[in-house]
Amino acid sequence: MQKQKQEKIVSMFDDIAPTYDTANRVMSMGVDKSWRRKACDLAYKFYGKDSVDKIVDVACGTGDMMEFWRSRAAVNGIAVGDIVGVDPSVGMVDVAKEKYPKFNYHISKATEIPLEDSSADFLSITYGIRNVVERQKALKEFNRVLKQDGLVIILEFMKNENPSFIGQIRDFYMNKILPKVGGFISKNLEAYEYLPNSIEDFSTVENMQKELETADFEMLYTKSFSMDISTLLIARKK
């Protein structure tokens, strides 16, 4: 059952890959760029080193977060060696390779990352962890791949069980407006109806923190942005 669910999600992303970037920019009005910059800058600050050997971006999609890692390293005066993208969707990775051919890619699930133990300084997953069916298994895999004191960086749309008035406006926007916009651009309404449903079926911030701690991570930073639309979590491998 879990395997079938995961395969259906991957197939959905294959279908919307050609229009994914356009839909995302329109739906987020570009504000996701500021969230990504913040995530990168904070990770570099917490790590506190002037060089990073390897950064792994899981559920890399069309590669934008990988480019943010590269560009923000340059801004912060940090030398970065290898930037690796991992994603089970061939369609998404094909788009990423065309946009960013300088990076390395693996077609693989988050639970089966084809990298050596303790080989990465950072592992990021942006707006992808809620699409991982076997989430706790994936978090253990993240821990395996990271070096001692390496960082996991998660940006995600989190479930809010007790939304404020502004949060209710956010939920209306994400439940009623975004699916229609994304569906119009991609010609795949089902895929973009999946977005709000996947958030409702996902974890709260508090539960996500507990899951990271269970996977042998120490929480360093948690903050929600833009009416709690997006949440950033940074944790260190113990």
DSSP string, 119-181: -EEEEEEES-GGG-SSHHHHHHHHHHHEEEEEEEEEEE--B-SS--HHHHHHHHIIIIIHHHH
Q: Which tokens go with 107?
A: 């077609």
Residue 234 contacts residue 151 (beta carbons within 8 Å):
yes
Taking residues 188-208, report their average pLDDT: 73
Confidence of residue 131 (pLDDT cuts 50, 70, 90): confident
Taking residues 8-26, report their average pLDDT: 70
- For the chain, the domains span 2-163+202-237
Residue 43: DSSP 8-state:
H
Residue 61: DSSP 8-state:
T
Phi, psi of 128 (to 5 degrees): -135, -20
Roughly what angle, to the nearest 10 degrees, separates helices 2-16 and 20-28?
90
Confidence of residue 161 (pLDDT cuts 50, 70, 90): low
CATH of 2-163+202-237, one of 3.40.50.150, 3.30.420.40, 3.40.50.300, 3.40.50.920: 3.40.50.150
Phi, psi of 151 (to 5 degrees): -110, 140
Asked whether the predicted pLDDT for residue 20 surpasses 90, the reply is: no
Choice between 22 and 34, residue whose per-residue pLDDT is larger: 34
Q: Model's pTM, two decimal places?
A: 0.87
Residue 135 contacts residue 127 (beta carbons within 8 Å):
no
Confidence of residue 167 (pLDDT cuts 50, 70, 90): low
Phi, psi of 227 (to 5 degrees): 60, 35
DSSP H helices in the chain: 2-16, 20-28, 32-47, 64-75, 90-99, 135-145, 165-172, 178-186, 189-200, 205-214
| Predicted pLDDT at 135 | 95
Asked whether the predicted pLDDT for residue 138 surpasses 90, the reply is: yes
